[in-house]
Amino acid sequence: MKLSQDDIIDKMEELKEGESLKFNIPEIFGGGVAIIGFNPQKGGKKYLLQLEEEGNASPYWDTNKARDLAKWVADRLGDLV
């Protein structure tokens, strides 16, 4: 299900420790899965975006602003799974 930027922000604000949101990214934008969750590193930024391709997830972006990550996913037509 494709969500708007505001809907993604709402979902991010509902996340609890250990939960994440996963979005399929279309091939035109590089494919793979974008995973948004809390940053497990103490003292780091609040949210962490990871990109997963072929089973390997790697950190891509950490930020305190939910809007930044929500915009990135919405701009790439991420499909919530």
Nearest 5°: phi and psi at 21? Answer: -110, 135
| pLDDT cut 70: percent of the chain above it | 100
Nearest of 23, 81, 27 to residue 57 by alpha carbon: 23
Is the pTM value of this prediction over 0.85?
A: yes
Q: Is the pLDDT of residue 25 over 90?
A: yes
How many structural domains comprise the chain?
1
Helix, strand, coil: what percent of the chain each, to 5?
30, 35, 35
pLDDT digits (tens, 9 = 90+) for 48-76: 999 998 778 899 999 999 999 999 999 99
**Full domain range(s) for residue 36:** 5-80
